[in-house]
């Protein structure tokens, strides 16, 4: 990763705006989870060929909508199935894990795929309270700053003399920890990333109104640490289709998915035609409208223009796109159209590897 010169985003200096993929592994109604994870492999290879910069996978548990409970496993497989694109976690939910275990897992990944791994960290559990309890087995979890400090110490910073973990090494000790990113949708994540001198990835799909101010805060408060200069990724939800009408139709699937999640009855993504045909009361329609306003929807010209505008507005160094539609072919097509609209440079396909 190369920080922008002087903390100024690269696009502001005439450089192409990097685009990346955030894969939440959407589960279509009637599909098997095996099909879903294989689709992630196919999408990662295609994203590499299209010129996407990185491919991140998320961590969610007990979710019938998303098949992504083990990012470190998927990262190992996706990195082995590609050859150039950066692959990482977007992210590891640190409260669910021992910092030592995270440091060990990602050092092994870095040893296997040097210079291609990213470690994004979140402070939410990525699930409901009961499932979080089951993951942790009721153990008391230190606060996020303590966990992060331990991870950085295990990653090479070291513990002070007399600390109980000072004799413990995260093996393989001669392999550096991959670049660390703090994920967030609030001021807190920006403050932590700025204070620690790490990269920052903002989830605009969760907080569209706060994106500009929070990303500006990160850049203004940044202090050199793991990076010498700030580097901010704008994460957002986008669907691109050959026509704006089709993009709007495709958005119905995840709109219904979000509505069901908020109602405590999550499930696989329904086809857009099914989702659009259901009856909704006024309160539900209002929630759907609010959700859709946070998305970037349209044909290539509309989506490309809006992604560029949002990058300029938020001073983002990079844009990371999440596309949640049930049909894999239409999801792939969306990423192809976005790459073309954003001027990504196509590459030769990666060498074939087993799925």
Q: State the average pLDDT over residues 23-43.
A: 95
Number of structural domains found in the chain: 1
Pairing outcome for strands 180-184 and 199-203? parallel
The model carries a pTM of 0.92
The pLDDT, as a whole number, for residue 351 is 46
The span from the CA of 139 to the CA of 59, in Å, is 20
* Phi-psi label, residue 348: left if phi above 0, alpha if psi -120 to 50, beta otherwise: beta
The span from the CA of 331 to the CA of 22, in Å, is 12
Q: State the average pLDDT over residues 79-83.
A: 98
Length of the chain: 355
Tell me if 55 is assigned to some domain. Answer: yes
Tell me if 113 is assigned to some domain. Answer: yes
The span from the CA of 241 to the CA of 249, in Å, is 10
Structure tokens belonging to residue 21? 């993929």
Kindly tell me if the per-residue pLDDT of 120 is higher than 70: yes
Kindly tell me if the per-residue pLDDT of 352 is higher than 60: no
Q: Determine the structural domain holding residue 170 and report its residue range.
A: 16-243+298-341
Q: What is the pLDDT of residues 243-279, one digit of tens each?
A: 999 999 999 999 999 999 999 999 999 999 999 999 9
Kindly tell me if the per-residue pLDDT of 8 is higher than 90: no
The span from the CA of 151 to the CA of 192, in Å, is 14
Kindly tell me if the per-residue pLDDT of 24 is higher than 50: yes
Q: Tell me the average pLDDT of the chain.
A: 91
Specify the higher pLDDT residue, 291 or 1: 291
Q: What secondary structure letter does DSSP report for 94?
A: G
Specify the higher pLDDT residue, 257 or 349: 257
CATH of the domain at 318: 3.20.20.30
Tell me if 351 is assigned to some domain. Answer: no
Q: State the average pLDDT over residues 108-117.
A: 98
Structure tokens belonging to residue 280? 């909704």
Q: What is the pLDDT of residues 299-341, one digit of tens each?
A: 999 999 999 999 999 999 999 999 999 999 999 999 999 999 9
DSSP of 194-227, one letter per residue?
A: HHHT-EEEEETTT-GGGHHHHHHHHHHH---SSS
Residue 348 banded pLDDT, cuts 50, 70, 90: low
Kindly tell me if the per-residue pLDDT of 13 is higher than 50: no
Contact yes or no for 119/106 (Cβ under 8 A)? yes
Tell me if 132 is assigned to some domain. Answer: yes
DSSP of 2-24, one letter per residue?
A: -PPGGG--GGGGTPPPPEEEEE-
Residue 242 banded pLDDT, cuts 50, 70, 90: very high
Q: In this structure, how many other beta carbons lie within 10 angstroms of the beta carbon of residue 31?
A: 17
Q: Which residues contact 316 (CB under 8 A, 6 or more apart)?
A: 9, 17, 215, 232, 233, 234, 310
Structure tokens belonging to residue 146? 């303590």
Tell me if 11 is assigned to some domain. Answer: no
Give me the helices (H) in the chain, please.
33-50, 71-81, 99-112, 129-136, 144-152, 187-196, 211-221, 244-262, 272-277, 282-293, 300-314, 328-341
SS3 at position 157: helix
Tell me if 334 is assigned to some domain. Answer: yes
Tell me if 161 is assigned to some domain. Answer: yes
- C-alpha distances (whole Å) from 16 to each of 21, 65, 208 are 16, 34, 24
Kindly tell me if the per-residue pLDDT of 58 is higher than 60: yes
Tell me if 175 is assigned to some domain. Answer: yes
Kindly tell me if the per-residue pLDDT of 2 is higher than 80: no
Kindly tell me if the per-residue pLDDT of 196 is higher than 80: yes
Pairing outcome for strands 54-57 and 232-240? unpaired
Q: What is the pLDDT of residues 135-181, one digit of tens each?
A: 777 666 778 889 999 999 999 889 999 999 999 999 999 999 999 99
The span from the CA of 227 to the CA of 238, in Å, is 29
Specify the higher pLDDT residue, 139 or 283: 283
Q: CA end-to-end span of the chain, whole Å?
A: 28
Structure-token match 């979710």, residue found? 63
């Amino acid at each position: 990763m190369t920080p922008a010169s002087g903390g100024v985003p690269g696009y502001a200096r005439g450089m192409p705006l990097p685009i990346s993929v955030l894969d939440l592994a959407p589960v279509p109604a009637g599909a098997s989870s095996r099909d879903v994870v294989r689709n992630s492999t196919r999408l990662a290879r295609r994203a590499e060929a299209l010129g996407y910069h990185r491919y991140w996978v998320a961590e969610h548990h007990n979710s019938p909508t998303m098949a992504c409970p083990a990012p470190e496993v998927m990262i190992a497989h996706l990195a082995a199935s590609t050859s150039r694109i950066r692959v990482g976690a977007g992210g590891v939910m640190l409260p669910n894990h021992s910092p030592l275990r995270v440091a060990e897992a990602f050092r092994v990944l870095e040893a296997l795929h040097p210079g291609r791994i990213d470690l994004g960290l979140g402070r939410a559990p990525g699930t409901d309270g009961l499932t979080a309890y089951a993951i942790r087995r009721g153990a008391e979890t230190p606060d996020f700053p303590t966990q992060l400090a331990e991870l950085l110490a295990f990653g090479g910073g070291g513990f002070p003399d007399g600390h109980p973990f000072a004799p413990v090494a995260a093996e393989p000790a001669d392999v550096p920890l991959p670049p660390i990113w703090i994920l967030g949708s609030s001021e807190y994540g920006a403050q932590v990333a700025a204070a620690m001198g790490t990269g920052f990835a903002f989830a605009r799909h969760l907080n569209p109104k706060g994106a500009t101010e929070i990303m500006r805060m990160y850049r203004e408060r940044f202090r050199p640490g793991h990076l010498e200069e700030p580097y901010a990724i704008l994460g957002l939800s986008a669907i691109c289709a050959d026509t704006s009408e089709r993009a709007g139709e495709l958005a119905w699937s995840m709109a219904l998915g979000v509505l069901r999640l908020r109602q405590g009855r999550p499930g696989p993504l329904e086809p857009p035609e099914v989702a659009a045909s259901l009856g909704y009361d006024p309160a539900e329609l209002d929630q759907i409208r609010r959700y859709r306003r946070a998305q970037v929807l349209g044909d290539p010209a509309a989506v490309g223009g809006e992604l560029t505008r949002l990058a300029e507005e938020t001073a983002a160094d990079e844009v990371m796109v999440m596309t949640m539609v049930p049909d894999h072919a239409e999801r792939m097509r969306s990423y192809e159209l976005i790459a073309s609209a954003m001027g990504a440079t196509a590459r030769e396909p990666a060498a074939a590897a087993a799925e």
